Amino acid sequence: MSVEITTGPPEVRVPASAEVTDTIGTAEAVLTRRTGASVRLADPEDLGGSGRSVVMRVRVAETPFELPRTLVLKHYGAPPAEGYSDPFAHEAASCQLATALPRELRVGPELIAQDAGRRLLVLEDLGRGATLADVLFADDQKAAERSMLAWARALGRLHTSMAGREADFDALMRRLGAESWTDPVAADIRRSLTELPELLEQTLGVSTPEPVRRALGTASGLLGATRYRSFSPSDICPDNSLVTGNGVRFLDFEWACVRDVALDAAYLRFPFPSSWCSYAMPDELVENMLATWRAEVVEVWPELDDDAVLLPRLLEAQLLWVWVSTWWFLPRSGQLDAPIDAHMPSPRRSTALADRWRRLGEHASSGGMSEVAELSERMVAALLERFGSGVLELRPYPAFR
């Protein structure tokens, strides 16, 4: 779900001429209709996008009304086939929901204009700041620590400000033509619960004990209707988090949903399990990030200040993330133990998985899930036997080396 980034100063790339003409022309028509007077845009700069959309920064060259000096345009292609989630609907509904908040509570870009028929969003330009990935892959440890704490604070603020908005999100999605919406990770987790035990038997010779299956079944309750649900961007990876002077802002809402906050908070215990760049972080920083997030969410859920309430939920979420990421990344028979993303500075799949199982085992042991701790030990040993001793050495992000 992550988009490609570059480290260091962003390279200005002009999009293909057909994309420019189509997107700028569409945006000018949408803004002209909204303002009632001609708006002209210029100087397009490609911001990456994906196979699903074109994303560019443009300068507002002509307008009789007050508009920001620059804007970001996100222009989606054709709708997906029937039965698949529409990323445009998810993003448009999310931006509408977030823009309704007071400016000081927003953790994403303001929605300036949209056109559902033309599948276009006109968004606030949050500037040329570094992404969280840029910071983590640089060499400034203090800057990385500050940014990670700001990321944790932004995540907590998002959870508190958007709690209780599920009905609003659902209504906005229906207005955009989506009959229903789903958490894409939840669908993968449910599938992995069924498929991973056989895969572990085939590839590593590791069986899944019945008590672990029961623990997974209990943990999957986080995927349903709990009292701790809030809005989530879903893809909260470093390259979708922009470090600004006003804190961290989230950029990508193509898979946004409402889910239990523990599924996002588990990212604080082991970094970014769904991302290409899942390296290690200092244990003290991890604890400080969790405390920072917690200080925000207790305003809405004061009981989460109690370790007896929060830590078991985090452990269940961590178990689900380790399980589904093993299903995603474990090399199948005949596959090489390649990096998670061959085009990015990613760790080897076996290295990332061994570290996740090791950390899960430590938390499970202290959290009273002895069967999960025992399986974790067997998984680490099996990964070591198959892929070699290097799997145990997950390096920190470059900023912490």
Collapsing DSSP to helix, strand or coil, 242 comes out as: strand
Q: What is the pLDDT of residue 50?
A: 67
Q: Return the closest-CA partner of residue 381 out of 364, 349, 348, 357.
A: 357
Q: What is the pLDDT of residue 184?
A: 83
Q: Decide: 69 and 81 in contact? Cβ < 8 Å.
A: no
Q: Residues near 390 by Cβ (< 8 Å), separated by ≥ 6?
A: 348, 351
Q: Decide: 351 and 216 in contact? Cβ < 8 Å.
A: no
Q: Decide: 88 and 79 in contact? Cβ < 8 Å.
A: yes
Q: What is the pLDDT of residue 57?
A: 95
| pLDDT tens-digit readout, 338-380 | 888 887 888 999 999 999 999 999 999 999 999 999 999 999 9
| DSSP states along 317-359 | HHHHHHHHHHHHHSPPTT----BSSTTTTPPBHHHHHHHHHHH
Residue 324, both tokens = 């589904």
| pLDDT tens-digit readout, 21-42 | 789 999 999 999 988 889 999 9
Q: What is the pLDDT of residue 3?
A: 34
Residue with structure tokens 């985090």? 314
What are the two backbone dihedrals, phi and then psi, of residue 258, each rounded to the nearest 5 degrees? -115, 130
| pLDDT tens-digit readout, 288-334 | 999 999 999 999 999 999 999 999 999 999 999 999 999 999 998 88
Question: How many CB atoms within 10 Å of residue 155?
Answer: 27
Amino acid sitting at position 337: D
**Letter string b/e over residues 274-293, b meaning 16 or more CB atoms within 10 A of that residue's CB:** bbbbbbbbeeebbebbbebb
What predicted TM-score, i.e. pTM, was given to this entire model?
0.90
**Per-residue H/E/C for 210-237:** HHHHHHHHHHHHHHCCCCCEEEECCCCC
Residue with structure tokens 């969280």? 132
| pLDDT tens-digit readout, 111-164 | 999 999 999 999 999 998 899 999 999 999 999 999 999 999 999 999 999 999
Question: Whole-number mean pLDDT of the chain?
Answer: 90
pLDDT band at 13 (very low <50, low <70, confident <90, very high): very low
CATH level 2 (architecture), domain 17-124: 2-Layer Sandwich (3.30)
Give the residue, 395 or 20, on which the prediction is more confident: 395
- Average of pLDDT values for 42-55? 84
Q: Decide: 135 and 143 in contact? Cβ < 8 Å.
A: yes
Give the residue, 197 or 108, on which the prediction is more confident: 197
| pLDDT tens-digit readout, 240-299 | 999 998 899 999 899 999 999 999 999 988 888 888 888 999 999 999 999 999 999 999
Q: What is the pLDDT of residue 361?
A: 97
pLDDT band at 12 (very low <50, low <70, confident <90, very high): very low
Residue 145, both tokens = 């620590």
pLDDT band at 19 (very low <50, low <70, confident <90, very high): low
Q: What is the pLDDT of residue 8?
A: 33
Give the residue, 248 or 392, on which the prediction is more confident: 248
What is the DSSP pairing of strand 40-46 with strand 229-232?
unpaired
349: Cα separation from own chain's centroid: 19
Q: Which class is 132-400 in CATH?
A: alpha beta
Domain residue extents for the chain: 17-124, 132-400
| pLDDT tens-digit readout, 94-106 | 999 999 999 888 8
Q: Decide: 256 and 94 in contact? Cβ < 8 Å.
A: yes
185: Cα separation from own chain's centroid: 10
Distance (Å) of CA 116 to CA 53, 87, 88, 173, 176: 14, 12, 8, 11, 7
